[in-house]
Amino acid sequence: MEDGEFSMELDMAVRVVHLACALCRRVQEGLVSADNAQVMTKDDDSPVTIADWSVQATVSWILSEYFGSKNVSIVAEEDVQTLSKPDSRTLLSAVVKTVNECLAEAQRYGLQCPPSELGTSEILEAISRCNSTGGPTGRHWVLDPVDGTLGFVRGDQYAVALALIENGEVVLGVLGCPNYPLKKECFDYHYKAATPKSSQPCSDTFEKGCVIYARRSYGGAWMRPLVHGDEKLEWPNSASLVRVSSIDDPALATFCEPVEKRNSNHSFTAGLAHSVGLRKQPLRVYSMVKYAAIARGDAEIFMKFARTGYREKIWDHAAGVIIVEAAGGVVTDAGGRPLDFSRGIYLEGLDRGIIVCSGPILHEKIIGAVYASWDSSSL
């Protein structure tokens, strides 16, 4: 790939996300066909699986080996509390097995394999190493090992998200989307299901899975299909530039929002959509795949307005934000201000919600609608 600032870091990030996606695909196949015994519930009632811990351990180990453990600061979602409990031995054993199976294939992705299998303590250490809180100075990797775990468990959309923040600014982002259809018409069919089965444009075996990435001053956002079978990762020769949609008429725009109501107010976004003139039904999509949809031009708008008390975390947005912006889109809070990734693990100072658009015309209309309707809302 071309040289330049953060080129080495981007190369490593793209490779490790590809590897993590391969891990997730194997685990998801087992979850969907089994009884979900490997799904746990965290203290905040959100699900977590062996894939979450296994991806975090894998990414942490590779970044630490490549850049040096003393030089790597990683902000990530999971900890080892659940895995360290006496009744979690079977779960921990599954994580250890999954990580070692994954790392054994690292060379296919141009990455270093460990000289021997990692032990339980080494894997717990790799997970625990991701305990940085970020901040306004220094360099911090930000990882969501499986964004959209509920979608992952259900065999639906999810993402592996990795970003790099330097001195409070996101400088590169990589989104791995293993279940994302490569063809727009397949994405449309998957969510709108308006085509009779006899004339489906996309079968159950349609090609899916991609990695989308961007870095500061790299000239846009890029996408590459995931590797399959025994294929080796060859990039960036096989990557293609992606751009946001040119649609700026609200009546023609496609609008995405989170599936879960726990951290998103669907009724408020429905009111905004109506006032702006959005006519299509919203696509409720798990995970940061919504950012990928905007960047690829498959949708034009993503809005999220969390309920009172919910705090947005940086790993849920960092990679997606830089990718959408590099593809020509606009991302701000509901007051029109850029998101601030310099204040720790939360997006502190967030004004009401998050608005992601393919262009400034739609963005300005939504910002105006928020100001017009906010006082009458229940948020």
| CATH number, domain containing residue 37 | 3.30.540.10
Q: Please check if 77 is assigned to a binding site.
A: yes
Residue 43 has a pLDDT of: 58
Give the residue from 242, 260, 281 where a domain finishes: 242
Residues involved in catalysis: 52, 149
Domain co-membership, 178 together with 58 = yes
How many domains is the chain built from?
A: 2
Do residues 235 and 317 both lie within one domain?
A: no
301 and 332 fall within a common domain: yes
Q: What is the pLDDT of residue 226?
A: 94
Closest to 170 measured CA to CA, from 148, 142, 210, 212: 142
Whether residue 48 lies inside any domain: the answer is yes
Q: Give the per-residue pLDDT at 183.
A: 84
Query: Do 192 and 258 lie in a common domain?
Result: no
Confirm whether residue 147 is marked as ligand binding. Answer: yes
Helix (H) or strand (E) holding 124: helix 120-128
pLDDT per residue rounded down to tens, the chain (379 residues):
557 889 999 999 999 999 999 999 999 887 755 554 466 666 555 678 899 999 999 999 999 999 998 889 999 999 998 898 888 899 999 999 999 999 999 999 999 999 999 999 999 999 999 999 999 999 999 999 999 999 999 889 999 999 999 999 999 999 999 999 988 777 776 665 444 444 455 665 568 999 999 999 888 999 999 988 778 888 767 899 999 999 999 999 999 999 987 778 888 899 999 999 999 989 999 999 999 999 999 999 999 998 888 899 999 999 999 999 999 999 999 999 999 999 999 999 999 899 999 999 999 999 999 988 876 555 4
- Judgement on whether residues 188 and 304 belong to the same structural domain of the protein: no
Q: Which of 191, 213, 242 is the last residue of a domain?
A: 242
Residues 214, 257, single domain; the answer is no
In a domain, 1, yes or no: no
- Within a domain: 324: yes
Cis peptide before 236 (omega within 30 of 0): yes
Task: Indicate if 21 and 90 belong to the same structural domain.
Answer: yes
Instruction: With respect to residue 2, please indicate whether it lies within any of the assigned structural domains.
Output: no
In the structure encoding, which two tokens stand for residue 68, read together? 């040096």
pLDDT for the residue 375: 65
- CB 22: neighbour CB atoms within 10 A? 23
Domain that holds residue 296: 250-376
Residues 236 and 261 in one domain: no
At residue 56's C-alpha, the angle toward residues 119 and 69, to 5°, is 70
Q: Are residues 319 and 219 in the same domain?
A: no
Are both 309 and 334 inside the same structural domain?
yes
CATH of the domain at 264: 3.40.190.80
Q: Helix H segments across 222-336? A: 266-276, 289-296, 318-326
* Residue 282 is assigned to a structural domain of this protein: yes
Which is nearest to 59 in space by CA: 315, 321, 322, 324?
Answer: 315
Assess if residue 168 is contained within a domain. yes
Pair (258, 157) in one structural domain: no
Q: Is residue 105 part of a domain?
A: yes
Structure tokens at 70: 């003393």
Query: Of 242, 276, 291, at which residue does a domain stop?
Result: 242
pTM, full prediction: 0.93
What single-letter amino acid sits at 210?
C
35 and 113 both lie in a single domain: yes
Domain assignment present for 335: yes
